[in-house]
Amino acid sequence: MEVIYLKNDGRCKWLESQVLNKVFPDAIKSSRNPSEPKKLMILDWISNDNGKVGVDLKWFERLGVPAVKTYKDLPKDNNYILINTGYDSIVHEEKLLLERGVQIIDKPCPYVRKIRKLFETIDSRYQYVLLCEPNHIIIKNYQSLFPKDMILVQMQNYKERIISQSNGKPMKFISYVTFLKRHSGEIFDFINTEFPGLDHVMVDTQCMWADGKKSPIHEIANLPDEILERVRYACLIATPGSTNKSLMSLHETIVARGLEVVNISSLNGFVKFKRKHEKERVLLVRSPIPNEAEKPILAYLEHGFVWGYLTLFIDRIQLRECLDELHGNLIYLKNKISIIFNH
């Protein structure tokens, strides 16, 4: 099977450089050093629906980053440092923690933080319209900031919701950071057409991952036809059952190029697909949200069957614990042998 890779491989560059390579390793290191405060995360701030929205919890737990489930599970003392990253915080909980004097490392996605700032400085001349999925994490995290007359819309219902909930003010339209630009444009055009003569505003909140020259969305949309010649499938590596908007945007962009999307969530799934389609050319697309399947699949493609499954084994099992257990078993075996020979 011939695999076509994207130059912009799907991973969020900010997430990789600032979180995966800095924040997370520092937090893991803190958990092993009793002389320094432990750096903790709150899972409720970064994930919904058991990992179907936001961070893949199975992948996250195996990283070993210290975390508690909710705000209520934090230690009662202040002898820890809280990490706020990714989708930002549940705002009212963060404020309570700051009032308690808890130290917080503030490293949310800068584009998500931009949305927060927009809702922290409400302009009462406007009625706000937010394009975002109802189960998205920022709906929970920013709930205390949203004005009562805000209209929450999705692509399938924006017309009826905007018409039925309009209060006559000009509208300030904001979309979540990974929606396609054409979706935002479609809704803003509708607002201007349906409510003419008002000074409506659309705020640009799209992140670099969704728009721009380094965006996989942009790259897929502009791949030359000759590259996609004889390509029928695009393998999208992602968490099973994920409803992250970034994945939906990738899926829609791939389908628009005439390709069939195959969601791959495990190395076994990819190996089975490869065996069935040995003579195919396929486009390989990585999710912007890290997941369990990605590293083993890439290792398998680069180095072969054994290396792929070895990578899977190392990822799935806490290697240090395995080595400790092996060491203990060897000592036990050595002692047994010594007893036998001494007898």
The model's pTM: 0.82
Q: Is residue 53 part of a domain?
A: yes
**Which CATH number fits the domain that encloses residue 223?**
3.40.1010
Average pLDDT, the chain: 88
Is residue 96 located within the same domain as residue 139? Answer: no
Do 193 and 220 sit in the same domain of this protein? no
Distance of CA 103 to the CA centre of its chain: 25
pLDDT tens-digit readout, 65-102: 999 999 999 999 989 999 999 999 999 999 999 999 99
Which residue bears the tokens 């992602």?
238
Residue 154 belongs to some domain of the structure? yes
Query: Are 220 and 298 within one domain?
Result: yes
> Whole domain around residue 153: which residue ranges?
114-203
**What are the pLDDT digits (tens) for 252-306?**
999 999 999 999 988 899 999 999 999 999 999 988 877 788 888 888 888 887 8
Structural domain contains residue 118: yes
- Boundary-marking domain end, from 65, 86, 108: 108
| Closest to 234 in 3D by CA, of 248, 220, 213, 244 | 220
Same domain flag for 259 and 185: no
Query: Token pair 């919904």 is at which residue?
Result: 48
For tokens 């495990």, the residue is 266
DSSP state, residue 243: -
Domain count, the chain: 3
Q: Compute the average pLDDT of residues 50-72.
A: 86
Question: Could you tell me if 97 and 181 lie in one domain?
Answer: no
